Amino acid sequence: MTAHDAGSILVVDDDAAMLKTYAAILPAAGFSVRTASNGKEALALLASPCDAVLSDIHMPGLDGLALLKRVRQLDLDLQVVLITGEPNVETAIKAVEFGALRYLTKPVTASTVVQTMADAVTMTRLSRTKREALAVLGGNEQELGDRAALEVAFDALLPRLRMAYQPIVDWRARRVWAYEALIRVDAGRLREPTLIVAAAERLDRTHELGRLVRATIANDLAAVPLPPDVHLFVNLHPTELLDPHVGGPMDPLISHASRTVYEITERKPIRSLDAVRPAIARLKRSGFRIAVDDLGAGSAGLSMFAAIEPNVMKIDISLIRHIDESVTMQRVVRSLIELGRDLRITDVIVEGIETVSERDTSAMLGADLMQGFLFGRAEPPFAKADGAVEQGET
C-alpha cells in the first residue's frame, strides 16, 4: 500500500516524544504524516488538504477540543481522532458533541493507532465522495453532514448572519412598494439560505434562527428607517407559528407590525392547521399581515388558505420563468390572480421577473406587484430604494 493510497494524516501533540512515535508508526503503515506541536500550528497546516487528524486533547493555547471545533467550521467531512492521557466524562461528551470519530485513552498500542487512523481516512473519503455525488444529483440539502458537525457549523454561522433586502415594486405606480428580507452569510460551510434553513430544521432550532432573523431586521430598521408607505416581507417557517415570541410583545418587529408581512411558504407543510390558528389570529390582532409564499410550487390546499386567510399571495418563480413564451402558464397565472381577488386577497405578487418580456406579460395578465432580478437583487438595507423601478424600465 502506498502512502497515497493509505492517506495523509495530520498529527498534533505538544509532547515531542509522542510526535516522534507517531511519525514512526504511521508512515510504516503507509500513511504520509505531517506534525504540529500545538493547535494553532495545526490550523495553519490544514490549509493543505489531509485525510484525517490525530490530536492530543490537553495542549496549551488551542487544545484538542478547540481544534476539533475549528476543524468542523472548516470541513464537515474531515475525521478527527482525539487522544488523551487524562480522560474524563466532560471531555468525552464534548468530543462526541463536536463530532470526533474516536476518543482514545493513552497508552494506545501501535496497532490500535494504525487501525483507528485507517478507519478515519476511510470515513473522510466516503463522506467526501457522497458529497460529490449529491452535488451532481442536486441534493444540496443532504450536504449538511452528521448532526455533531452540523451543530458546530450552525453555531459558527449565527454570529455572521446578516440580512439583505430585495425590492418589490408596484409596476403600475412605478415605485418601490416593499422589500423582502433574505438571510445572508458570507463565509463558512453553511452559506446557502436553503441549507441554513434545512440545518435549523434538522437541529430543531428554527425558533432560534427565526428570533435572530427578526432581531437583525429590527436593528436594520433602526439604523436605516424605511419610508412610511413601504412594506417589509419577512419569511416565517411554519413551525415558528408555534413560537410564542412571534406576533407577541417579545417580537422585535411588533413596533413595525403595520408595515410587516409575514410570509409562510407553501413548500413546507403545516402539520396541524388547528394548532396554528391561534398564532395566525395573534399575528393579525397585533397588526401583522400574512402572505402565502411560493404559490404554485408547494402542496398546500384550500384548507391552508382557510386556516391562514392570507392578505397577500406570491406566485412562485416556476410559473413566471419564460411566461411570455407559454400560453399555458399565462392561463394559470391569470387564473391565480383572479382567484386571489375572489378570495379577497388584497395584494398578489409575481416573483422571479428577470426580463422585460416577463414583466410586460405579467402586467398584461393583471399583476401590478412584481419582484425579481430585473428590478434589483438583494442588497444591504434598502440600498435600491431610489433605483429599483428605474432598473426595470426599458
| Long-range contacts (CB closer than 8 Å, 24 or more residues apart) made by 77-80 | 77/124, 77/127, 77/128, 77/131, 77/145, 78/50, 78/51, 78/52, 78/53, 78/124, 79/51, 79/52, 79/53, 79/120, 79/121, 79/123, 79/124, 79/127, 80/52, 80/53, 80/54, 80/55, 80/120
167-188, pLDDT tens digit by residue? Answer: 999 999 999 999 999 999 987 7
Asked whether residue 129 carries a pLDDT value surpassing 90, the answer given is no
Q: Give the CA count within 13 Å in the CB-facing half-sphere of 55.
A: 32
Q: Which of 246-250, 288-292, 383-387 has the lowest mean pLDDT?
A: 383-387
Mean pLDDT score, 98-125 = 88
- In Å, how far are 61, 86, 94, 346 from 177, measured between CA atoms? 53, 63, 49, 14
Asked whether residue 387 carries a pLDDT value surpassing 70, the answer given is no
Out of 3.40.50.1110, 2.10.109.10, 3.40.50.150, 3.20.20.450, the CATH code matching 147-391 is 3.20.20.450
Q: Would you list the DSSP string of 35-73? A: EESSHHHHHHHTTS--SEEEEES--SSS-HHHHHHHHHH
Please report, as a single letter, which amino acid is at residue 6: A
Asked whether residue 2 carries a pLDDT value surpassing 70, the answer given is no
pLDDT (0 to 100) of residue 86: 87
DSSP designation for 1: -
In 3-state terms, the chain is what percent helix, strand and coil (to 5)?
45, 20, 35
Give the three-state DSSP class for 14. coil
Please report, as a single letter, which amino acid is at residue 368: D
Q: Which residue has the higher pLDDT, 232 or 119?
A: 232
Confidence of residue 190 (pLDDT cuts 50, 70, 90): confident
- What is the CATH number that goes with domain 3-137? 3.40.50.2300
Q: Which of 46-50, 142-146, 223-227, 323-327 has the lowest mean pLDDT?
A: 142-146
Cell of 161: 448572519
Mean pLDDT score, 343-356 = 89
Mean pLDDT score, 93-113 = 85
Provide the strand spans (E) within 237-311: 260-265, 289-295
Mean pLDDT score, 328-349 = 85
pLDDT (0 to 100) of residue 306: 64
Mean pLDDT score, 246-266 = 92
pLDDT (0 to 100) of residue 266: 63
Cell of 86: 487524562
20-45, pLDDT tens digit by residue? Answer: 999 999 999 999 999 999 999 999 99
Q: What pairs with residue 370 in β-bridges?
A: 169, 350
The whole-angstrom separation of Cα 56 and Cα 372 is 52
Q: Which residue has the higher pLDDT, 359 or 272?
A: 359
Give the three-state DSSP class for 120. helix
Length in residues, the chain: 394
Q: Please, what is the end-to-end C-alpha distance for the chain in angstroms?
A: 65
Q: What is the mean pLDDT of the chain?
A: 85
Q: Which residues contact 274 (CB under 8 A, 6 or more apart)?
A: none
Provide the strand spans (E) within 185-259: 231-236
pLDDT (0 to 100) of residue 125: 82
pLDDT (0 to 100) of residue 131: 62
Domain ranges of the chain: 3-137, 147-391
> Can you give the C-alpha Rg of the chain in angstroms?
26
pLDDT (0 to 100) of residue 202: 86
Asked whether residue 299 carries a pLDDT value surpassing 50, the answer given is no
